[in-house]
Copies of this chain bind each other. A is one copy, B any other.
């Protein structure tokens, strides 16, 4: 059996297998694993926090894997150690296989200064995001100085990733017709840096035009988010893009941002768990109460009281 000290030593030595095992531990939902994981994280935390944390988002088809492979490779070539994590609440892994990610990023996964870990498997977004945040503590404690967190562009996963990184990068594509391809509603506002990807060959001109138009539209909407072009395939623009990422991080109070993220994450967990328990407990009575609201037999306010009383029966008897 792997003990607490085995885990701790494995991670701090930077041993790949040790890191992988520790991440499997923090992803586990078994109560004894959870307890061991939390103790491990408390010990790892002083060693973590020294990496640049960058979220990479964009809808499927935008070329995220090729981009991350190219960016990651260029960063390890300059002496960095790069960890790639992901938040994908829809992911399914069979028997722990990470074949998909190894295939998607063949060069980077063979790079000894890179560590690629696919998303924790399907669960609630809160659960998946929590496991990824905890995996980030593990890889940072293991000495990776750049963490790229990929989001698949499903549901609210972008917000979850934006809340755990220093810089949130949005990849998009040149438009066809008069609409920008691949920008989900609400994601534009999360972006600290935007890049029009696939700016290569015959598409370069269109990508530049799209970037310039998007920058114009953003200025009109009072945003000064930088918009660049890049190509994951040729590597063009990646250096300038990384300069913008670093510049963004120099422009914000990172320590304050991270403290805020930690505290907000704590409260998000409290709310998630509280609402999950409310959901369980209210499930049997909710449909009937909703029906009464729609029928006009109950006002929403009375209905809310009914649901709360079922959840917190101690309210009836004053008990502090």
Contact residues in B for A219 (Cβ distance below 8 Å): 178-179
List which A266-320 residues lie within 8 A (CB) of chain B.
266-267, 269-271, 273-275, 277-278, 282, 289-290, 293-294, 296-305, 307-308, 311-312, 314
Closest to A264 in B: B300
* Bound-state Cα–Cα, A32 to B130, Å: 44
Segment from A13-21, A41-49, A73-81, A115-123 that makes contact with B: A41-49
Q: Nearest chain B CB to A110's CB is how many angstroms away?
A: 33
A11 proximal to B (CB < 8 A) = no
* Bound-state Cα–Cα, A189 to B271, Å: 26
Interface string of A241-285 (1 = CB under 8 A from B): 000000000000000000100110111011101110110001000
Closest to A295 in B: B45
Q: Nearest chain B CB to A134's CB is how many angstroms away?
A: 8
List which A126-141 residues lie within 8 A (CB) of chain B.
130, 133-134
Interface string of A206-227 (1 = CB under 8 A from B): 0000000110110111100000
Given contacts A222-B183, A290-B263, A301-B130, contact A312 B189 (CB under 8 A): no
> Which residue of B42, B188, B275, B282 is within 8 Å of A296 (Cβ)?
B42
A185 proximal to B (CB < 8 A) = yes
A180 proximal to B (CB < 8 A) = yes
Binding site for B on A (CB under 8 A): 34, 38, 41-42, 45-46, 130, 133-134, 175, 178-180, 183, 185-186, 188-189, 213-214, 216-217, 219-222, 259, 262-263, 265-267, 269-271, 273-275, 277-278, 282, 289-290, 293-294, 296-305, 307-308, 311-312, 314
- Write 9 A-B pairs (CB below 8 A) sorted by A numbering: A42-B298, A180-B220, A266-B293, A267-B304, A269-B300, A270-B307, A274-B275, A274-B308, A274-B312
Sample of 19 further A-B pairs with CB below 8 A, known A45-B296, A180-B220, A265-B300 = A38-B299, A41-B299, A42-B296, A45-B299, A134-B301, A179-B221, A180-B222, A183-B221, A186-B189, A188-B221, A213-B220, A259-B294, A263-B290, A266-B293, A270-B282, A273-B305, A274-B275, A274-B311, A274-B312
